[in-house]
Amino acid sequence: MATEQTLEESCEEVVRVEGVVKDVRPGFGLVKKRILSGVSFSVRRGEVFGFIGPNGAGKTTTLKVLMGLISATEGSATILGHDVSEDEFRQHVGYLPEHPYFYEFLTGRELLSFYAKLSGVPRAKRPARIEELLHWVGLEAAGDQRLRGYSKGMKQRVGIAQALIHDPNVIFLDEPMSGLDPVGRRAIRNLILRLRSEGKTVFMNSHILSDVESICDRVAIIVEGEIRYEGSVSEFLGQTEHSTDVVLEGVSQEMVHQLAEQCQGTHRELKGRIEIRVPEKQVRLLLQKMLECDGEVISVNPHRVSLESVFMSTVEG
Ligand SMILES: Nc1ncnc2c1ncn2[C@@H]1O[C@H](COP(=O)(O)OP(=O)(O)OP(=O)(O)O)[C@@H](O)[C@H]1O
Ligand SMILES: [Mg+2]
């Protein structure tokens, strides 16, 4: 046991996926279909890792391989240094499935109590832990209501609470923001950041790129069963050349064309004004040119590259 703990504690790569291939046969006698084509990536200790990609890219399939729910056709996957087919490390892992199903006749508190028992939380610690989690996911008031009466977002919240009940070190969340209203999304974002501050490792599949951008340290992008990018969010955003939007007023069409050409920019009309987008290094030249003519500079804004725009260009190839 002591050596096992050492292995788990010393493992800097909490999740390691190497060359995972997954083939399925969609039906009897049908040709096999390749869902994952040699997926490799790793998740480091203490980070929030975003696994993103379009619908049908293979995110949930990868997560199912990691959870040992399906086996890989080829390749290997380890969590805390253990092959995912083993069981001992599972006490350190929490999991929110993509479509969680819970017994609807239980109340939120009863459900969490059931999972606390199932995952070995000591009896004396259960009540406080349940209340803490109901508070974190904003369900204190609905704790005694049966799940049958829960909305989609409430079920999602109780699912997240369930994944955290035994205070796991590594948490896997398949679309944690799914079905949540903006207040709920913020609560879950804050909860994930809180987990990170406690030194936990969080792996999340998500479509909501603004959330991924604000909370994830690193991301991997999967498209059609292949990893297209793995790295830090800031590096990913930094791949695109920075540009600046300069809004002008009182300049003739001819002048606009000239300015855009000289400063290697593009232009468009914006509510009766003209916006010229130029590479960062051309801003000075553009402003100098403006001083020489009668026009007015309304604003100069560095163009913020969003994860969404970089993601779209990565996915579209
Ligand atoms: N058991 C199966 N039999 C046949 N095809 C499958 C099976 N499981 C998954 N697939 C296919 O594999 C592909 C990947 O599915 P997966 O659920 O992993 O995608 P995803 O990235 O999670 O998508 P989403 O964003 O919609 O949740 C899809 O084309 C899906 O139809
Ligand atoms: Mg999915």
State the 10-residue block means of pLDDT for the chain, 317 residues long.
56 92 85 94 96 94 96 95 90 92 93 94 95 94 94 91 95 92 88 93 92 92 94 78 86 88 89 89 89 86 80 81
In whole angstroms, give the CA distance from residue 3 to residue 82: 13
- Indicate whether 290 and 147 sit together in one domain: no
Helix (H, G, I), strand (E, B) or coil at 20: strand
Of 202, 221, 237, which closes a domain? 237
Give the model's pLDDT for residue 152: 87
Last-in-domain residue among 188, 218, 237: 237
Looking at the CA of residue 64, tell me the nearest atom of ligand 1: 18
Indicate if 143 and 277 belong to the same structural domain.
Answer: no
For ligand 1, atom 16, which residue shows the shortest CA distance? 58
Alpha helix positions (H), the chain: 2-10, 59-66, 108-118, 126-136, 152-164, 182-197, 209-215, 233-238, 253-262, 283-292, 307-315
Question: Are residue 175 and residue 270 in the same domain, yes or no?
Answer: no
Same domain? 223 vs 289: no
Q: What is the pLDDT of residue 239?
A: 66
CA of residue 70 to ligand 1 center, whole Å: 13
Of all atoms in ligand 1, which is nearest to the CA of residue 57?
21
At 3, list the tokens. Answer: 């050596």
Residues 115 and 180 placed together within one structural domain of the fold: yes
Residue 57 CA, ligand 1 centroid: distance in Å? 7
Point out the ligand nearest to the CA of residue 36.
1
Predicted model pTM: 0.84
CA of 174 to the centre of ligand 2 (A): 7
Task: Tell the burial category of 311 from Cβ atoms under 10 Å away from its Cβ (0-12, 13-18, 19+).
Answer: buried
Task: Give the amino acid at 115.
Answer: Y
| Domain coverage including residue 294 | 240-315
Based on the fold, state whether residues 65 and 200 are members of the same structural domain: yes
Q: Same domain, yes or no, for 148 and 62?
A: yes
Whole-number Å distance, alpha carbon 40 to ligand 2 midpoint, is 18
227 forms beta bridges with 222
Cα–ligand 1 centroid distance for 51 (angstroms): 14
The CATH number linked to 276 is 3.30.70.980
Q: Name the β-bridge partners of 205.
A: 51, 174
Q: Which atom of ligand 1 lies nearest, measured to the CA of 63?
A: 18
Pocket of ligand 1 (CB under 6 A): 24, 26, 33, 35, 53, 55-61, 98
pLDDT the model gives residue 114: 95
Q: How many domains does the chain have?
A: 2
